[in-house]
Amino acid sequence: MRKRYIFFILGFILIILVTGIAGIVTVLNRPFQVEKGTYLYIDTDDNIDSVYHKLTTQLHASTLKGIKLLVTVGGLDPIHPGAYQFGQADNALTAYRRLKAGAQTPVNLTIPSVRTVSKLLRTVSHQLMTDSASLARLLMDSTYCAQIGYTRETLPCLFLPNTYEVYWTMTPEAFVKRMQKEHDRFWNKERKAKAQSIGLTPEEVVTLASIVEEETANNAEKPMVAGLYMNRLHAEMPLQADPTVKFALQDFGLRRILHAHLETESPYNTYKHTGLPPGPIRIPSIQGIESVLNYTRHDYLYMCAKEDFSGTHNFAATFTQHLANARKYQQELNRRKIK
């Protein structure tokens, strides 16, 4: 009778243990309620409570029992900052292991084609843990720029619009090093040889590409525009590019360039100064750069926006032809009352 009682007690304890273990396994393996890959962003100032809060709000974790149990047993100190991606197959156990090891997931960093470095840095800071002020302090430092081979004017040449896989926690210094690596990879022997063959340095190619891209958004027309400016450079004529005047004035909303604007004293005013400006007037796209390296050979020296406002241009080899094209465009500006 006593043995039967002991076996009963042992069996009861075993059932409790098995049930408890099964419950723990269930809790640890309960999948997150996310429909697709979702990022959990852990900052440098996060503590365990804020991590729990982010797990609830960012991953919609219905219960934190599993992770809290694992943290109680194994700890989570130090907390590793980073971006951690989780999907439907992930649960408390996989999340804990990843956070414990600091095994963050790479994120996509998109470098856009924008007009100013300041705007670029704001865009980058929205995609990384670092802030735009930290990036600006580094890149606006003339000594640092000189160390990496740039002036404040040529700094936009460093950046190539594209999407790169990086870690969210990368520092401003690491960001610059990555941009240098991508820059050097792009400017391989073949592209450097092409630049040399047309009489330009890589920085001058990017500068001309920035003007081309401000002149036209039509990709098919970009090599034509590049060819026109190359003709002017070879003829030692002023480029007379309206976008450089806008850049000199820092007024990108100008729709009509007047004679008063052309009198602006600035090295970027290509009506007053021959040759290329000191640096790019925007961060041009890779396609824009390629349009300069592979510009169309023709005899055109002049261009004027088409009067249909299609965003393309009428090209002319003589000033007389150009005046006729310009007259049509001016008449349309007046008809639309654009000043």
pLDDT class of 330 with cuts at 50, 70, 90: confident
At 209-237, the pLDDT tens digits run 999 999 999 999 999 999 999 999 999 99
pLDDT class of 135 with cuts at 50, 70, 90: very high
The whole-number average pLDDT for the span 189-216 is 97
- Residue 247 · residue 281 · CB < 8 Å: yes
pLDDT class of 313 with cuts at 50, 70, 90: very high
- The whole model's pTM is what? 0.83
pLDDT class of 254 with cuts at 50, 70, 90: confident
Residue-level pLDDT at 80: 94
Cis bond upstream, residue 78 (ω within 30): yes
Give 61's contacts (C-beta < 8 A, 6+ positions apart): 32, 33, 55, 67, 92
pLDDT class of 23 with cuts at 50, 70, 90: very low
- Percentage of the chain surpassing pLDDT 90? 63
pLDDT at 27 over 60: no
Question: Structural domain boundaries of the chain?
Answer: 27-101, 107-186, 202-298
Residue-level pLDDT at 19: 41
Q: What is the mean pLDDT of the chain?
A: 86
The whole-number average pLDDT for the span 262-267 is 87
At the top level of CATH, the class of 27-101 is alpha beta
- Residue 112 · residue 132 · CB < 8 Å: no
Which candidate, 250, 317, 19, places its Cα nearest to that of 116? 250
Does residue 334 or residue 339 have the better pLDDT? 334
The whole-number average pLDDT for the span 7-15 is 44
Residue-level pLDDT at 29: 45
**Rounded-to-integer distance, Cα 188 and Cα 182, Å:** 10
At 46-94, the pLDDT tens digits run 999 998 888 888 776 666 777 888 888 888 889 999 999 888 777 888 8
Give 231's contacts (C-beta < 8 A, 6+ positions apart): 298, 299, 300, 301
The whole-number average pLDDT for the span 294-314 is 91
Residue-level pLDDT at 35: 65
